[in-house]
Amino acid sequence: MSTIQNAKAASLLELLVGMALAAIALGGVMQAGRALREPQLRQETARLMDLLRQEARTAYYLGTTRRISFARGSSEVAVERSVLPAKLLLLARGTKIEEARFGTPGAPSEVLEFRETGAASPGRIVLRAENGVPCRIFVGIRGSLRSECAE
């Protein structure tokens, strides 16, 4: 493998490891969260976000009763609702959003919505990493996430 391919593979591996660690952390928080009220969940969410910031990552929560708006050309995402969600998307800092298209009824196409049933507005997000490598994240109707990154 070339140096560039090694760097991309390492970056993807780092992302996957980060997602796995976050899933483990979220699992523990959510187990404890069943008995917690919303203010406590917000505190746990803030604690997890602080941990992720220390790891130089941007975290976007994706989950139940949550709506996320993406702005093209930005790395900022507007999130509504404060309940702890079931999914977590981690992106390296400096990642820019090039396109976001979702089939959300009655909302702009840049809005991704997850419902309590686990269903989602299907669509895709096209991202470009700081090093210029494009990635696509596909959101399935059941809220599953699948990503494809250029070589």
| Per-residue pLDDT band at 32 (split at 50, 70, 90) | very low
- Output the pLDDT for position 133: 72
Please choose, from the candidates 32, 150, 117, the residue with its C-alpha nearest in 3D space to the C-alpha of residue 45.
Answer: 32
16 or 45, greater pLDDT:
45
**Does residue 73 have a pLDDT over 50?**
yes
- The residue ranking higher by pLDDT, 117 or 32, is 117
Total count of domains within the chain: 1
**pTM for this prediction:** 0.41
Average pLDDT in the 107-115 region?
Answer: 57
Q: What is the rounded CA–CA span in Å between residue 53 and residue 30?
A: 20
Residue 101: which domain range?
3-149
DSSP state of 115: -
Structure-token match 């941007």, residue found: 58
- 1 by Cβ neighbours in 10 Å (0-12 / 13-18 / 19+) ranks as exposed
Listed ranges 59-68, 82-91, 124-133; the one with the highest mean pLDDT: 124-133
The reported pLDDT for the residue numbered 23 is 52
77: pLDDT strictly greater than 50? yes
